[in-house]
Amino acid sequence: MTIMITLCASVRELSMCNPDAISDVHGPRSKIRKGEFYEQIHPAHSLQFTRDPGQHRQQRRYWDKAFQVKALQDYTPRLVKHYKIIIDIFTADSATGGQINVSRLFMDLFFDVVCDLTIGKSFNSLTTGERNPIITEFLAQQQRLGFVLLNMWIFHLIRCIPLVVSGIVSWIQWRTSSGVSRDLREKCSSRKRQWYANALEERKQMQRIPSDLYTYLSQSDTFESAGVHETQLAIVTGADTNAITVSNACYLLCQHPEYQQKIYKELSDVPTHEIMVDYRHLMSKHYLLSIINETLRLYPPFPGGLQRQTPPEGATIADPRAFPRPNDFVPERWTSQPNLILRKGAFVPFSYGTYNCAGKPLAMMQLRMVIAMFVKKFELFFAPGKKIACERYIQDQADCFALHINPVPLVPKERINPKHVM
């Protein structure tokens, strides 16, 4: 007897690159929910790593409070403190003609800033020149785990092929841990959680400290159980994304130096100390914003997109072009050449809809302040003899969920007799 078995197979996971799908997938009326990527820390949770819409809504209220205008104004003095440190570093290197690895410095800057804003104390990476092991571990782990996190199907594959389970598991452990044993990895993870728990306890004991992220996030009823993961989320996502964007902007401004002069001219009526004190002076500077937008369009910090799970009834997707000359750096598309934007809704560097980035107001404030501050005070150039290294800065960028960037050697030159210098 012959038995015929028909297997109906269909694609379970799709990668979409379609501007028209953004509102359908991420919009407020969408029935599409977060995918299993966001269950990494289950049964624990944070604002980002939860698939429960109700839980997300509850926690999002406190995050939104932390980024209101009044809160941003309260944070400014601490931002300025750290900005002055990195300005002094650039000034010293400018005097000697030394080159600077700006990707390293900006990563240290923003980790110092966001740690200060989250738990009331800085990592002090800029002042000491030494990175906290928490930062080093995160950056190393990001490179190793990027491919696994973006290919969650590999875990389903393991469960479906029992005969090769042990081999695949061994391979994943080797690939993601560089030979580190499971026990040691668990100890490292436990040590990391303990560091955040200790930092939270220290912040809790601080008296008369200015308002910070902890002030608002700790008001949540779930903070007692979710505080460690919420703190880690604030520090990690609030640091590397800004560092990536500012580093990329510096690279592009060196590649297109005429835009440094255009920003400098636009900022001519803003004293340098005002940039540091009140970012609202920068809100009307459209050319500065166009540089930021074009940098985010070309090199988004999360280039691979965000995973979502479709409902059983599915979705229909189309694929029109969004940006003519998509690979060119053309800031004018955001100002005087709107014809170079066919689908403005396709530009969502902070995501869109219910799960958009809560920290966007703080991120945009810092991007405006830092880029304006450096262009106002310095001219930036590629380091002599480092052309190939600078070119590879972009070529070797890797999608590890967040973008992984390499060293980029630049030389700052302090502007001659700049007006209104600090």
Give the whole-angstrom CA distance, residue 161 versus residue 163.
6
Give the whole-angstrom CA distance, residue 98 versus residue 94.
6
Q: What is the CA radius of gyration of the chain?
A: 23
The pLDDT value recorded for residue 308 is 54
The pLDDT value recorded for residue 421 is 44
Domains of the chain (ranges plus CATH)? 46-313+320-414 (1.10.630.10)
- Binding residue per annotation — 254? no
pTM above the 0.75 mark? yes
CA nearest to 308, candidates 66, 51, 87: 51
Residue 312: CA count within 13 A, CB half-sphere: 0
The pLDDT value recorded for residue 316 is 39
If phi > 0 it is left, if psi is from -120 to 50 it is alpha, else beta; for residue 208 that is: left
Give the whole-angstrom CA distance, residue 71 versus residue 63.
11
Query: Counting beta carbons within 10 angstroms of the beta carbon of residue 276, is it exposed (0 to 12), middle (13 to 18) or buried (19 or more)?
Result: buried
Tens place of pLDDT per residue across the chain (422 aa): 344 444 445 556 666 666 777 777 777 777 777 877 777 776 778 888 888 888 888 999 999 999 999 999 999 999 999 999 999 999 999 999 889 999 999 999 999 999 999 999 999 999 999 998 888 888 877 766 666 665 666 655 655 655 544 554 444 444 444 444 445 445 556 777 888 899 999 999 998 889 999 999 999 998 988 899 999 999 988 899 999 999 999 999 999 999 999 999 999 988 877 677 678 889 999 999 999 999 999 998 877 655 555 555 544 333 346 888 888 999 999 999 999 999 888 888 888 888 889 999 999 999 999 999 999 999 999 999 887 888 888 888 877 677 778 888 999 999 976 554 44
B/e letters for 134-166, b = 16+ CB within 10 Å, e = fewer, are bbebbbebbeebbeeebeeeeeeebeeeeeeee
- How many CB atoms are located within 10 Å of the residue 167 CB? 11
